[in-house]
Amino acid sequence: MSDNPSAEPWQRTVVLPSERGTSRLVTDDLLEQLGLYGWPQDEIFGIHLAAEEALVNAAVHGNKLDPAKRVHVECHVSPDLVRLTVTDEGPGFDPEAVPDCTRAERLEFPSGRGVMLMRSFMTRVEYNPRGNSVVLEKRRGVAPSPAE
Amino acid sequence: MATHRRIDVSKTGDVSVVKFLDRKILEEAAIQELGAELFALVEVDNRKAILLDFDGVEFLSSAALGKLITFDRKLKTAKGRLKMCGVAPGILEVFQVTKLNKVFDIRTDATEALTAF
C-alpha cells in the first residue's frame, strides 16, 4: 500500500499457484498502483498486456500448470519506471527460438504472440540464460524498442 | 437460438452484428466460452456475414487473438465474410504490431463496416 505515491516506489513480491486465471492476483494491484502514480492510459494498457502475457506464459508454458510449481513475481512501480520480474519453475525456453509471428506463413497461427507483444509494449524485456525468468521494464514516456 | 453469455448478436440486413459483453477479454474460461459462442455462429447458425463490433472493449490478450484468428478461418472456410469495427486505440495497436490488421478487415465504425459488406 502506498499512501504517498510520489515519495516511495511500490514494491511487492507475490507467489502464485500454476493455475489459469491467477494473473489478476498481480494485475489488479498493479493497475491500481499505475493509476495512483499517474501513468497514462495508453502505457497502462501496454504494461497490463505485457504482464498478462508473461504471467500466463509462466503458469501455462513454463510450469505446465503443475500444481507443485509456483510462479514468482516481483513488482516495482514508481512515477517513471515499472519493473516486473516473472519467474517460473519450469526448465526454461529460448525466446530467440520463438518463430516470428508476423511472417506471412505464421500470420494466421492462433498462438505464439506473447513474447512479441511484451517486446512491443515494454522498454526492456530480458530473459535469464535458462529462460525461466523474464524482466519486463517500462520507462514512462520512452517508446519500446522491439528486438529484431 | 443459442443463449450467449459473452456476446450479443443482432441482425442488420443480412449482416450479423456481434457485440462483446466483456470490457476486458482476458480470463481463460471466458475466452474459451467466447470462442465457442463465436464458432457456433458459423458452424451451427450458418451465418455468412459477420461484423464484430468492439465498441466498449478495452483490453484483450493474445489468447483472445487466437480465438479471433480461428473464428476468421472458420468463416473463410464456410465462404463467409468477417469485418471488425469500433476497435479501441490500444487494441488496434495490438492488431498492428502483430500484423493481424492485414488478416482482418478493420473499419472505423459500424456504419462504414456495414456498407462495406
Residue A106 exposure: Cα atoms within 13 Å on the Cβ side: 12
Taking contacts as CB-CB distances below 8 angstroms, the residues of chain B near A49 are 59, 61, 90, 94
Q: Give the Cα-Cα-Cα angle B81, B84, B90 (nearest 5 degrees).
A: 150
Assess if residue A56 is contained within a domain: yes
User: Cβ of A109 under 8 Å from any chain B Cβ?
Assistant: yes
Closest to B65 measured CA to CA, from B14, B38, B31:
B31
**Model pLDDT, residue A148:** 43
User: Could you identify the residue written with the cell 440486413?
Assistant: B13
Strand locations in chain A (E): 10-17, 70-77, 81-87, 124-127, 133-139
At residue A2, the pLDDT reads 46
Domain limits for position A99? 10-139
Give tens-digit pLDDT for B93-111: 999 999 999 999 999 999 9
pLDDT above 90: residue B62? yes
Question: Which domains does chain B carry?
Answer: 7-115 (3.30.750.24)
- Residue B50 in this model has a pLDDT that exceeds 90: yes
Structural contact between residues A66 and A5, judged by C-beta atoms closer than 8 angstroms: no
pLDDT profile of chain A (148 residues), mean per 10: 65 95 94 96 96 95 96 97 98 92 88 93 97 97 69
Residue A1: per-residue pLDDT = 47
Q: What is the pLDDT of residue A109?
A: 87
A102 in any annotated domain: yes
What's the total number of domains in chain A? 1
Distance in Å, alpha carbon of A2 to nearest chain B alpha carbon: 26
In a domain, A147, yes or no: no
Give the model's pLDDT for residue A6: 60
Q: Is A31 on the interface with B (CB under 8 A)?
A: no
Alpha-helical regions (H) of chain B: 28-43, 62-77, 89-97, 110-115
H/E element holding A127?
Answer: strand A124-127
